[in-house]
Amino acid sequence: MPLPTSFVANLTCPTFSEIAAELKREGRQPQAKFCGLWNEVAPSDLYCYLHARYGRPNGLQNWLRSDSSDNLIHWEWMLQASPGWVLFQGMSFRTAVIFLDVPGACSDDMPELAAQIKADFSNQAKSMGQVRQSLEHWTEFVNPYQRIRSSVNSLLAELDALGLSAEDEPVPDIQGLRSMPNGYLAEMAAKYSKGLGLCFGIRSMLPVMAESFVNLLLFALMRPELKSDQRLRDNTIRQPIDIRIKSLSINCVGFNSPVDYTHLAFKDYNSLVNERNDLLHGNVVLEKLRFNEVYFSGRVPIFKRYRSLWERTLGVDIQAVGLHRLANEVEVVERMVEQLKSHLNPETRDLIDQASGQRDLGLDQKRGKFGILFSRQLVDMFPPDND
């Protein structure tokens, strides 16, 4: 049976004592039907509408929730229908709509329920506007530093799983091939080819990861007078990386001391950037790319030193891509990040430690407020109905 056309109009908001009496009613065995609204009615519009019409959320879940954003159910209204009850529960992925003792109610009624609610917006428009004005408006965004760091860590784990060890690899010469299983060299070549590709990607990303941490500090800690002026803000974040680092304590709050750019951590970072640029842009730097010397008598090669098949093939690529330098370059970035954090006061450092490990961050643009809105855990549920 479809919902009556006056279903929403007839919903009333019981007192807490009436709700308590219903929950304590002897022999209570309500017939429940669990449905849901996704974006048929925007959840913020639904919240403002219910708040404007019925006042603050009155459901039991409002007393059971923790005082944080880390809840399965964020808000709940328990309204009296004729007959029965209907619960609206704001969750992270939908608004659960639970019909208790409402004969025939089902998921097919959701379009009609949404239409009736939106049709009543005009009657509550002024009050809805007042409720909306009382809310903090936050924008969620992806943390570039954590996104890059997560990608680097994934690639490092994938590289480590290959177990590459050029120094210890049992590479046979032509005479030793007889003792090796068929396909050994081809399998090894494929493994190293994949590993060198991973290494190339990681080394290309490491300086970007370090720079993104500097940008996170600027975004989170920039002084309000700079942040509120677009020209000043843009000028601050578009400076060369060394200027951004040297002026962090000037342009940001939360620093106990100026950043000493002469520290070894930043010298190593500059070297890392130069290495990355040569690698990424294909710069021909002979001292970094040379791997052999040979004489010629006319067209006759005379080798200065014989090198193995391994050294002439995969060994050249290993040297050029810098597999042996990767672990040290990861440490260079870690040392730079730690050196920057060492200049922060304890409260600010705690904020940055938390924010830097969070993929999703939030910004209240009206107040210029930055923060972590949700935990890293995403949980969803949808209870079955009585059947």
Residue 21 has pLDDT above 80, yes or no: yes
What are residue 369's DSSP bridge partners? 364
What are residue 255's DSSP bridge partners? 344
Task: With H, G, I as helix, E, B as strand and everything else as coil, classify residue 382.
Answer: coil
From 9, 240, 17, select the one nearest 116 (Cα to Cα): 9
Distance set, CA 187 to CA 171, 190, 346 (Å) = 12, 5, 51
Q: Under 8 Å CB-to-CB from 366, ≥6 apart: which residues?
A: 136, 137
In this structure, are residues 239 and 218 in contact, taking their beta carbons and an 8 Å threshold?
Answer: no
| pLDDT at position 247 | 96
Q: Under 8 Å CB-to-CB from 298, ≥6 apart: which residues?
A: none
| pLDDT at position 260 | 94
Per-residue confidence band for 174, with pLDDT thresholds at 50, 70 and 90 = low
Q: pLDDT exceeding 70 applies to what percent of the chain? A: 86
For residues 117-139, average pLDDT = 95
d(CA 110, CA 34): 11
For residues 367-384, average pLDDT = 79
Q: What is the pLDDT of residues 221-251, one digit of tens each?
A: 999 999 889 999 999 999 999 999 999 999 9
For residues 165-174, average pLDDT = 58
From 333, 339, 340, 202, select the one nearest 271 (Cα to Cα): 333
Work out the number of other CB atoms within 10 angstroms of the CB of residue 82. 11
Q: What is the pLDDT of residues 316-374, one digit of tens each?
A: 667 666 788 888 999 999 999 999 999 999 999 999 999 999 999 898 888 878 888 88
Q: Which two tokens stand for residue 21?
A: 């009496």
| pLDDT at position 246 | 96
Task: With H, G, I as helix, E, B as strand and everything else as coil, classify residue 386.
Answer: coil
In this structure, are residues 314 and 164 in contact, taking their beta carbons and an 8 Å threshold?
Answer: no
Q: Give one DSSP letter per residue of 243-293, joined into a string.
A: HHHHTHHHHBSSBSS---TTSHHHHHHHHHHHHHHHHHTT---HHHH----
The least confident of 81-85, 347-351, 359-363, 382-386 is 382-386
The least confident of 2-16, 39-53, 68-82, 165-179 is 165-179
DSSP state of 387: -
Angle at 198 between CA 328 and CA 282, to 5 degrees: 80
Tallying the residues shown for the chain, one arrives at 387
pTM of the model: 0.78
| pLDDT at position 132 | 96
| pLDDT at position 43 | 96
Q: Which two tokens stand for residue 78?
A: 């328990």
| pLDDT at position 298 | 86
In this structure, are residues 15 and 370 in contact, taking their beta carbons and an 8 Å threshold?
Answer: no
From 150, 149, 143, 142, select the one nearest 336 (Cα to Cα): 149
Mean pLDDT of the chain: 87
d(CA 35, CA 119): 20
